[in-house]
Structure 1
Amino acid sequence: MTSLLEDTLSLFSLFQVKGPGVGLLGFSKGGDLCLSMASFLKGITATVLINSCVANTITPLHYKDMIIPSLGSDPGKCLKTDSGVWIYMGFWDNPLEEPNYHSIIPLERAQGPFLFIVGMDDHGWKSDFYAQIIASERLEAHGKDRPQIIYYPGTGHCIEPPYFPVCRTSVHTVLGQPILHGGEPKAQSWAQVDAWQQIQTFFRKHLNGKKICTV
């Protein structure tokens, strides 16, 4: 099976990638993929995760001779609202419990710092738990600096770029079901603007130090 991470190595040689360091920005499932890239590939200077899990999810991850299994799940723990929208907060098992511990991505191997963007009203992932209890404490236990974590009260799963319409529900591409993302419109809109600035500041600090255009 061809490794997704190995395929990504070829992207670093594209002329659009200035280097020498590369910054990663991942949202939801894309976040744990970015964590895996930062943990196993060289040249990753800074990584930003928006409402992401710190364990591998959905499908086993293959890299060289190693396989990180997918985090276990229990669809029976999901809730369905009166309007027919699903809440998947309880879908995933606890990564800290066996046998799920082996699905945690070894982010302590990463060379660069992390920024976690956390929506406190995220109805899809336990984003606060993943960032604080697992990522931050795991890094500290391995003698690494704690990640920067920014919390946004009243903010749901989909923290998109500024002025995008607030997305509280949508049909999940993999699950094929309408799911609730959470978030209040005012808090969500403010978080999108502020997070965009915070992300640029983080990359500006840890990449080449040059000014990045803002909206």
Structure 2
Amino acid sequence: LTRQSVWLPLPSFTRGMLTSSPSVAMATISIDKPRSLVDERISIRVENLPSNAPVTLRLNIKESYGSFSAFGHYMSDSSGCLSLDSSSSLGGTYTGVDSMGLFWSLLQDPAEKSGLRLLRREAEIPLRYQLTALPGHVTWEQLTNPETEIKPFCSANLERTYLADSVERIPVRVGRLRGALFKPRSQRSCPPVIDLFGTGGGLMEHRSALLAKEGFSVLALAYFNYEDLPDTIVEYDMDYFEEAVDFMLACPYSRLGPKGGVGLIGVSAGADIVANAAILFGDKIRAVAWLNGTPCRNFYQARYRGRLLPAQVTFNASKIKQAAPNPLGIDLRECVQPTRDQELPVEQASARFLFFSCLDDYSVSPEAGARLADRLVRAGRTDVERIAYPDAGHLLEPPISPCTALCYHGLLKVYMYYGGKPECHHRAQVDSWARMIRMFHEELGWRDDKRQVAKL
């Protein structure tokens, strides 16, 4: 264990200051992995505390756009120790025993502007946190009030990164394509996957980097607002996405399985794109992970080989409502209401589908995944699965990422209420991540492939 210690003087009784009695000299925080991966569990211990005493642990991260914190209330044991592997949080941003509870329960500090999302687009830049042990059970208001002075027992710094040392990043600028490819350094070629996000724009690398360490060559693909790509979306250019598929099929870093084809991941608008791709590109697509998309073509038109694709459904702006849990955000669930004939004809695709629907999502209808899965089942398909997560929100990320219920949307210039209750959302992320990895190994790999599914 790596120990980081801070010698602190005895606290004085100053007006407006929380005090402890007595103070402990040389309290230490021990972290087994001070630098770890974002989806990796770590062990944290605090020692040399007062015995059987209330203690608060606060995790904080300061980014250029805002600050985020989480905290838990604990009791030290008779020897003056607490371990997040076994000590229960009695209150705070999470409760119960969970060694990673402080990470998945992070919230933006109340002094920050509303709608922030803790996100690192660039996989090579780590997230840097500070962990502090404080006397007593300190409230959220006290922790985040700059006028409240608290004498800590000790503090430690740690880093979490999306890019494993075993994974390399290769910039992609081929023809019109812009993005970054991630692959294990130890392998020349791996099963190919393309990773797409929604209307946030730019290049999102974090999920691709984490997936690559599981034995895949993953292309994080940008399609607007990046380098020389268009600044905004006018329509979905499906030819561009087919170029990306062809690139990965021919790429020397791709090892195609006996069934051929690539895997696709898409969330939100990215889910709409990957569903369209599976319908249009035939056997080039082997497996699709669809996360919280819509059941039809809407909002943006899709064009393929010079023609607009049919069954465009009008987005009904009159159905926009304030989100009941937080009126600052908007509820879009009733804005797109397609008929069955307007749904995406996913039964025309040959790919295996894995649909993820989060039932506390206020930006798309939670029934969208069920509707598309039903089309496949009615067509006699058995290679389809739909997973529904109660109390999980729209932004389904890799494991241990915090839940962002309210987020400002830069392209639409509105506050989106994406929903999600932190613990349920966390569990959904752990489960969906393992299911995606398993499906991609089964569909894209070889039978003698011994790589393991991600475990947490």
Q: Which TM-score applies when normalising by structure 2?
A: 0.43
1:51 counterpart residue number: 292
- How far the C-alpha of 1:147 sits from its partner, in A, is 1.9
| 1:207 Cα offset (Å) | 1.5
Structure 2 CA distance for partners of 1:179 and 1:7, relative to 1, 3 Å: same
> Residue 243 of structure 2 aligns with which residue?
7
User: Which runs of structure 2 are paired with 1:91-130 in the superposition (5 Å)?
Assistant: 91-92=335-336, 94-96=337-339, 101-102=341-342, 104-127=343-366, 129-130=367-368
Q: Name the SS of the counterpart of 1:84 in structure 2.
A: strand
- The residue type paired with residue 47 of structure 1 is V
How does 1:77-92 map onto structure 2 within 5 Å?
77-81=319-323, 83-92=327-336
The question of whether the paired residues in 2 share the 8 Å contact of 1:156 and 1:184 is answered with yes
Which stretch shifts more, 197-206 or 59-68? 59-68
Which structure carries more strand by proportion?
Answer: 2
Cα shift at 1:165: 1.7
Residue 26, structure 1, aligned to residue 269, structure 2: no
Secondary structure, in 3 states, of the residue corresponding to 1:178? strand
Identity %: 24
Q: Give 1:36-185 correspondences, 5 Å limit.
A: 36-41=276-281, 42-64=283-305, 66-69=307-310, 70-81=312-323, 83-92=327-336, 94-96=337-339, 101-102=341-342, 104-127=343-366, 129-132=367-370, 134-145=371-382, 147-185=384-422
Contact 2:331 2:363 in 1 (8 A): yes
SS in 1 for 2:438: helix
2:173 aligned residue: none
- Does the C-alpha gap of structure 1 residues 164 and 89 become closer, same or farther in structure 2, counting only changes over 3 Å? same
Q: CA deviation at 1:135?
A: 1.1
1:150-190 per-residue CA deviation (whole Å, 9 max, x = no partner) reads 11111011110011121111112432101100110110111
| More displaced 10-residue stretch of structure 1: 164-173 or 77-86 | 77-86
Whether the aligned pair in 2 keeps the contact of 1:4 and 1:62 (CA below 8 Å) is no
Query: 1:140 aligns to what SS in structure 2?
Result: helix
After TM superposition, list the pairs within 5 Å mapping 1:179-198 onto structure 2: 179-198=416-435
- Where does residue 199 of structure 1 map in the other structure? 436
Counterpart amino acid of residue 353 in structure 2 = F
CA contact (8 A) 1:29 1:57 kept: no
Distance 1:83 1:124, change over 3 A: closer
Deviates more, 1:176-185 or 1:104-113: 104-113
Counterpart Cα distance in 2 of 1:195 and 1:143: 25
Higher RCO (CA-CA < 8 Å; seq separation 6+): 1
- Measure, in 2, the Cα distance between the counterparts of 1:15 and 1:146: 29
Contact 2:295 2:344 in 1 (8 A): yes
How far apart, in 1, do the equivalents of 2:375 and 2:417 lie? Answer: 30
Shift of 1:74: 1.2
Cα deviation per residue 1:105-128 (whole Å; 9 max; x = unaligned)?
22112112100111111111113x
In structure 1, how many angstroms separate the alpha carbons of the residues matched to 2:338 and 2:247? Answer: 31
TM-score normalised over the length of structure 1: 0.86
The RMSD of aligned alpha carbons is 2.2
Question: C-alpha displacement at 1:213, in angstroms?
Answer: 5.8
1:66, distance to aligned residue in structure 2 (A): 4.1
Q: Contact 2:357–2:368 (CA<8 Å) still a contact in 1?
A: no
- List gaps (5 residues or longer) in structure 1: none
Q: Residues 14, 57 of structure 1: CA spacing in aligned structure 2 closer, same or farther, 3 A cutoff?
A: farther
**Higher Rg:** 2
Structure 2 vs 1, CA of residues 123 and 83 (structure 1 numbering), >3 Å: closer, same or farther? closer
Paired letter, 1:131: G
- Once the two structures are TM-superposed, the CA of residue 51 in structure 1 deviates from its matched residue by 0.9
CA distance in 1, matches of 2:410, 2:362: 16
Question: What per-residue deviation string (whole Å, max 9, x for no partner) do you get for residues 23-42 of structure 1?
Answer: 11110100010011111113
Q: Distance between the aligned counterparts of 1:200 and 1:85, measured in 2?
A: 33
Structure 1 residue 146 displacement after superposition: 6.1
